[in-house]
Structure 1
């Protein structure tokens, strides 16, 4: 078993050998090839080499009279110094290494060989719980009829200390040269492999040593690829009359071709439905869209590698092929990063790999949104040619355009507009949220929240609509029937309400709908807190009276009393926070400059409630062609005014 000390000595010996090889002479077709060959021989990098041109090469004419370069190559002084320092500073993790060695149990071993007229001994020490070699076994094997002398004291010493992977002379025998083992070195015609074939020695004949094999290899012209470990193995455990490998050429290593590393799934058929942490599968989440953002790395080209030259046993240069380069598959809306090899997205959208190119599509076109597509979540614009069916949702960072109808669905866009060419059938479930405006033919039984305008050509029925600017109905019907509509600036339609009453219709303008909604939420929470505070105070009074009468309370009731007092304090603090927020909201609403208007160029039917700021006008009789506005603390009625459409721009290809 190889010991730590043996490894150290082997490394030192190898370093001494490497240090001695500080220059080589190389013949090659080009200077680059010569340097690559020199790097192999000197076990160094090309950047650590210096060279002297002995004979300049020539490409000849049409490949004729070609002349190789002859170059003497050196390692730089810095490289040699660095190599020595690495060896000097080498620090093995002895404790860890010893633990590994101890974990393997192996008996000690010994080898008796007869080299020349000497009896030689090699001893390897045991590992772990392995047994050491026994002196009597060594002596018994070493003593033969032709043995002349044997140093048993030295054998005893070496059996305990080992021989450091070398053969030591421990005696002599009567050598008969005629009985020596014979060896034959065979070098293949292509100079890639050398083998040794040895005949067994006769009695009193010498065995083959490692030095003999190496010397015969050199005589055959072998100067590279000598495999000392295989030679040592053969000497320790010889196999006679069978060719055994003792040297192998340094084979050239072709460079690896360039290739792409993709940071997304290039095969869309491998995209799988998402699973929840519990392992449940939502078949509406088909996970078919791979969203990317601008600047996101999509793929990286790994450059080709330069081939490493080889060398035959006789030192002849073996050329290696350099890896082939590839074209970077740039498609639409992608670009190269500063490093020149990383592809990044130049737009938000979905990444696809088509026609051997990487593309980012900022627009997603679908025939419909249904069981085939699942829910849609896309960083870009979504165009649906048909319908968004019940139960399926669409989320986009850009516009959402629907050519058909929208059912019991949730449509949400962060900054874009939503355009529904037909209409919205919410069935009291559908929700539409837009960071821009909503354009639709009609809205029925849906909840709508937009940052700008709601523009409808037909009707809004039984819906909750909130617009941070205006709600405008400007088609032939332009009817608002039932529901609750909020707008900061104005609401305009032909007819509002319905003859004979029917569903309650409430319109509110002149304030920030979100602030108004938050105000209502806070007021509800305050009322709930006041009821809880009243109950808490009553319970505290009851327990304190009980304590006065009994002078003490059981532990459970005492804990309850303390908890009630703590909760009372929490309610008081929370109530004060709500009161402060209410004051701030009322202040902002009061400072709002836009008073708001409600306009009808047809009829506002009785039963409609119109709020301008915080003042209500309950319409008791039908009124035609009217504008409701705020003046001197009251809601006034005036002549119908045309809606303000100056900053309302219809989406391309859509007309209300």
Structure 2
């Protein structure tokens, strides 16, 4: 090769430039890799394509000429995969960055960009003051698309019934909202439409479409709820006055009977397929039976009523129960009341009593006396898991029987695992059905899907949601039970008097002396106390 093609020469190696790239020839061993790298560093125009050729030439000298590199492009242009960014890499002489040569270099860069199709978002400031060798330089940047925002849904929130405790320690049942009542035309929910988004622009000047936001269906009972669109928002309003509740994700307004005064000879006995609110009281000898929740809001409470029954819901009696050994209260779920005297109360959930429970027959999953000054005295209390009261019995040593059926902790743990597995299975099912619902909902706007199929999807969706709700409630109930001490608990927060008989899992213990701040529980077949 001619002298002018020699890039580097020493006693060890010779680097030459050929028509198709760079070659290395070695004469003897002794050159280190670091020394070779320093040589290459002085020649940025060399793009190494074979490190193996270099290694063999240096380590196994002498070696004949072998190609190890190519000539780097003076200006290489590279685009990101989304074409939102363009980069250049320069391999030019250093003197080309100044004077008239710089102007020519900028023109050359512009032509290279044009050849690569880069016509938009070119950074003029980088061209003027930001060029250098052997570095990836961001030279152009497009406008990314602004994807649309998904639909936003807000729905009516059901207030949970929970008795509040005042600072003075008294239970304030006036704040308990058992039934969520609405009137015709009241707001029940809304959905803000998704936005289409804004298209972007690539460095090639091509539009980049934006992804529109996803729309979501509003689940509601069309017989009791209507929708209305206003300015990009779909609102849900009650078609009738009633009680709001959810079946799965579907909001409904159920029949709600509201009696302004008392249940007495003017109204007769109440038997209603829905929710019932009585603003007064229930006269002695009369009955109230409802499928859903019942609330009796009179401050004087009720007396020797025949019965108050909720077949599927809860009961709230604001003023208390003075049953005169005649009143019967039954609820599928929970019962809340200020006090109970001489009555029979049965519920499958929790019984919350504000002040006291005297001479009454109680059956519940658990009974909780909310006031720090509350007490249970006299009567027969039968619970599944727990009894919690500040005081049990009375100074007169009135016979008070407290019985907790108890449970098997291992069996409950197994059931909890089963419930959690079922919940996970249903959640996976729900994801699939939601995808169907969303697909239907998007196509429904264009009338591509028939209403029969839509109704089938909705029914499956609501069935799964209802099953999930039931399982979640069971999970919570089991978890609450497992927090009970032992396998059945009777907690006395302040004092218990002689005359109180406690039983847990049929193991009986009679209190024969006053005791304070004690919890009884069963473990290993014995009643223990802490």
TM-score scaled to structure 1, two decimals? 0.30
Larger radius of gyration: 1
The structure that is strand-richer by fraction is 2
Give the TM-score normalised by structure 2: 0.37
